[in-house]
Chain A
Amino acid sequence: MAIVVGTETRLVVQGITGREGSFHATRNKGYGTAVVAGVTPGKGGAEVEGIPVFDTVRDAVAETGANTAMVFVPARFAADAIYEAVDAGIETVITITEGIPAHDMLRVYNYVRPRGITLIGPNCPGALSPGKANVGIIPAEIFSEGRVGLVSRSGTLTYQIGHELTQLGVGQSTIVGIGGDPVVGSSFIDILERFEGDPETELVVMVGEIGGDEEEKAAAFIGERMTKPVVAYIAGFTAPPGKTMGHAGAIISGSAGTAQAKKEALEARGVRVGTNPTEVAELVADAVGARTG
């Protein structure tokens, strides 16, 4: 079953004729994802590596039955692209684009949420369900099929942990990058809830970082609602306050959003927090081994 993306995914790529859009659409298709359409206004009728291009998402949905959109359009047009996807009846919108103004995402979020749409990102690597579908820029080669769910605010850090898990023989059900912006469509809680309900996931790894309080909220959620074990990692213990650390959302404001506070909140709920990516992978391998063996 996996979560967010899977065998039922029928993908439309918005911004498919751009350099990044065409590259990753082709890669995703090569992985076996059903990439059924692309959209670039004014280029309807064209093709990108055999994928038909439409002028509007509405046309793409009508012609191909697309149910998931991947947004690759430039930041200043990205909010518009998300609204277009949602209004065309798309159920899951995954936005890879980086640098979307926070106020744009604030309005998008408040518009999209009551409609029951799954919004992932922006500024995220996408979602991968090994063996089923890859939507986004995650390098699928370093992951393997299995029963550990991974949710993260960071790309390469997730790859590092996934790679170490794979080396220890621990495969993954789905990897979801929720993104590093101040406003993201899906929070840790949204994804943890999906993993909790996914019969193919038996343990979840949550990779957080400084900024905001989503990890603290997730800790409370894990304590109250989750039956599956969670192993966590938090990056940014050495980050100084008031400085944005690469991700727009990775900033300690005053005394809020520190890695230490997040770690303590998670540990208070019985979540094991690894001190580095290697230890995280080892904790997971131990837990999975103990459960199956």
Chain B
Amino acid sequence: MDLYEYQGKELFKRHGIPVSDGRLATTPEQAHSAADSLGAEVVVKAQVLTGGRGKAGGIKLADSPEEAEEHAREILGMDIRGHVVKKLWIEKASDIAKEYYLSLTFDRGEKKPLFMLTTEGGVDIEEVAEKTPEALAKLHVDPLAGFQPYQARRLLFTAGISEPGEQKQIAAIIEKLYETFVAEDAMLCEVNPLIVTPDGQVKALDSKFTIDDNALYRHADVAEMRDLDAYPAEERAAREKGVTYVKLDGEVGILGNGAGLVMSTLDVIAQAGGRPANFCDLGGGGDAEGVVDALEVITPDPQVRSILFNIFGGITRCDEVARGILEALGRMEIGQPIVVRLDGTNAEEGRRILADASPANLHVEETMLSAARRAVELAGEAA
């Protein structure tokens, strides 16, 4: 789960990492009063779960509450890489002398948290890593030993930060960032930029946070930060029904069991010349309830022109899945043609059950490849 900048800063503040004072606003009027109460020059910042806000014009400086209101009017509703701006963070403006970069990520390969620090902040870190890798200080922390103060010193000296005042403040921030990362079950904590003001104060000017979904049960407060409005309507519906679903932009709706098989199905659709409309994993079950829930998520998408069920029966038997599909079709009206491919345990019986019932608009195919071709054809005819 990704957090907005203001949510991440709330966590920073909670763990003692310095941030600027700010207020949340969802209307131009609120932006006005936020600027007024902050009583100084402010920055109006679009809150979206994507990068590139600055370039898109989603961050603007305001001298007065009136100007803040004006900027808010322009930025609210703006589309930044497919994300519509609905919230603004109005923050006291900072004078910037230096921009650094600090992050702590979950290094899957090494199976250890990884710190990165560089004085070349404010830019895309992948670019720094590629063009000037020597400027990027990296350090892994042993999760069993935990963070040790020498590690902050090593990062600072390697990155070439030599001013004693900065060293002291950043060392403290590094230690607190590790605390935050572990305490909040983060997969990523990024501060870009970490700024130094002309009078030598260090603070986090931005925040990028990803929290492990599997750990949300022990962070009720963070779980509540999830902004359902930030997701497409279909994904919101899926979340409510407990269906694993990702919206894509094609025309063939996909349902399968098991994440790997569904990903493979999307690829096969593309190979057959079509475009998948979604990722949808039924999980282990194929009962009518699960099928209905998944169909209710998939079919309202106006782009969906055909639907492909790709089921491999393991412990779940194909005859059960076939009955589940028939029962689901009996309970709801589906406009799009459906292609079903059953393979594995009791596949023949499953196919026979579907053939005997032979509901209108349902096509049974024997292999994954022929089913994919059929679904793509039908989507083309429906278009």
Q: Which residues of A contact B (CB under 8 A)?
A: 75-76, 99-104, 106-107, 109-111, 137-139, 141-142, 152-160, 163, 180, 182-183, 207, 209-214, 217, 233, 235-240, 243-250, 254-255, 259, 275-278
Q: Which residues of B contact A236 (CB under 8 A)?
A: 263, 266-267
Q: Is A276 a contact partner of B369 (Cβ separation < 8 A)?
A: yes
Docked pose: A152 CA to B182 CA in angstroms: 30
Question: CB-defined interface of B109-132 with A at 8 Å, one 1/0 digit per residue?
Answer: 101110000000000001000000
Docked pose: A104 CA to B106 CA in angstroms: 12
Given known pairs A183-B111, A245-B279, the reply for A240 and B248 (CB within 8 Å) is yes
Q: Is B260 a contact partner of A207 (Cβ separation < 8 A)?
A: yes
Q: Which residues of A contact B143 (CB under 8 A)?
A: 103, 106-107, 110
User: Taking the complex as formed, is B258 at the interface, i.e. its CB lies under 8 A from any CB of chain A?
Assistant: yes
Q: Is B126 a contact partner of A103 (Cβ separation < 8 A)?
A: no
Q: Is A235 a contact partner of B126 (Cβ separation < 8 A)?
A: no
Closest A residue to B186 by beta carbon equals: A103
User: Taking the complex as formed, is B162 at the interface, i.e. its CB lies under 8 A from any CB of chain A?
Assistant: no
Closest A residue to B262 by beta carbon equals: A246
* A/B pair count, beta carbons within 8 Å: 169
Scan residues 251-283 of chain B and give those whose CB is less than 8 A from a CB of chain A.
Answer: 256-264, 266-271, 275-276, 279, 281
Q: Which residues of A contact B377 (CB under 8 A)?
A: none
Q: Which residues of A contact B267 (CB under 8 A)?
A: 235-238, 259, 275-276
Min Cβ gap B112→A in Å is: 7
Closest B residue to A125 by beta carbon equals: B314
Scan residues 171-226 of chain B and give those whose CB is less than 8 A from a CB of chain A.
Answer: 182, 185, 187, 212-215, 217-218
User: Taking the complex as formed, is B289 at the interface, i.e. its CB lies under 8 A from any CB of chain A?
Assistant: no
Q: Which residues of B contact A249 (CB under 8 A)?
A: 108
The 25 sampled A-B contact pairs (Cβ below 8 Å) are A101-B214, A103-B185, A106-B143, A110-B142, A111-B144, A137-B314, A139-B344, A154-B259, A155-B314, A157-B258, A157-B261, A157-B264, A209-B263, A217-B109, A235-B264, A237-B270, A238-B275, A239-B266, A240-B246, A240-B248, A245-B246, A245-B262, A246-B281, A276-B264, A276-B268
Q: Which residues of B contact A275 (CB under 8 A)?
A: 267, 271
Min Cβ gap A276→B in Å is: 5
Q: Which residues of A contact B182 (CB under 8 A)?
A: 103
Docked pose: A84 CA to B260 CA in angstroms: 31
Which 4 pairs between the two chains have the least Cβ-Cβ distance? A154-B260, A246-B259, A156-B258, A157-B260
Q: Is B263 a contact partner of A159 (Cβ separation < 8 A)?
A: no
Apart from A111-B144, A244-B246, what 16 extra A-B contacts exist at CB < 8 Å?
A101-B218, A102-B215, A103-B212, A106-B143, A137-B314, A156-B312, A159-B344, A160-B312, A163-B344, A180-B260, A235-B260, A237-B270, A246-B258, A275-B267, A276-B268, A278-B369
Docked pose: A235 CA to B268 CA in angstroms: 10
Q: Is the interface of A mostly helix, strand, loop or mixed?
A: loop
User: Taking the complex as formed, is B345 at the interface, i.e. its CB lies under 8 A from any CB of chain A?
Assistant: yes
Given known pairs A154-B258, A249-B108, the reply for A210 and B263 (CB within 8 Å) is yes
Q: Is B264 a contact partner of A277 (Cβ separation < 8 A)?
A: yes
Q: Is A243 a contact partner of B246 (Cβ separation < 8 A)?
A: yes
Q: Which residues of B contact A154 (CB under 8 A)?
A: 258-261, 263
User: Taking the complex as formed, is B102 at the interface, i.e. its CB lies under 8 A from any CB of chain A?
Assistant: no
Docked pose: A111 CA to B108 CA in angstroms: 16
Min Cβ gap A72→B in Å is: 14
User: Taking the complex as formed, is B367 at the interface, i.e. its CB lies under 8 A from any CB of chain A?
Assistant: yes
Min Cβ gap B286→A in Å is: 11
Docked pose: A156 CA to B106 CA in angstroms: 28
Q: Which of B106, B271, B345 contacts A182 (CB 8 A)?
A: B106
Q: Chain B interface: which size bin?
A: 35 or more
Q: Which residues of A contact B270 (CB under 8 A)?
A: 237-238
Q: Which residues of B contact A (CB under 8 A)?
A: 106, 108-109, 111-113, 126, 142-144, 182, 185, 187, 212-215, 217-218, 244, 246, 248, 256-264, 266-271, 275-276, 279, 281, 312-315, 343-345, 367-369
Closest B residue to A76 by beta carbon equals: B217
Q: Which residues of B contact A243 (CB under 8 A)?
A: 246, 279
Closest B residue to A211 by beta carbon equals: B108
Most chain B CB atoms below 10 A, which of A111, A141, A213: A141
Closest A residue to B181 by beta carbon equals: A103
Q: Which residues of A contact B142 (CB under 8 A)?
A: 110
Q: Is A156 a contact partner of B215 (Cβ separation < 8 A)?
A: no
Given known pairs A154-B258, A160-B343, the reply for A248 and B214 (CB within 8 Å) is yes
Docked pose: A247 CA to B264 CA in angstroms: 13
Docked pose: A245 CA to B344 CA in angstroms: 23
Q: Is B258 a contact partner of A155 (Cβ separation < 8 A)?
A: yes
Min Cβ gap B86→A in Å is: 19
Min Cβ gap B225→A in Å is: 17
Q: Which of B187, B263, B269, B275 contacts A245 (CB 8 A)?
A: B263
Docked pose: A104 CA to B271 CA in angstroms: 39
Q: Which residues of B contact A237 (CB under 8 A)?
A: 266-267, 270
Q: Is B315 a contact partner of A137 (Cβ separation < 8 A)?
A: yes
Q: Is A106 a contact partner of B345 (Cβ separation < 8 A)?
A: no
Q: Is A247 a contact partner of B260 (Cβ separation < 8 A)?
A: yes
Docked pose: A109 CA to B111 CA in angstroms: 8
Docked pose: A292 CA to B337 CA in angstroms: 46
Q: Which residues of A contact B314 (CB under 8 A)?
A: 137-139, 142, 155-156, 159
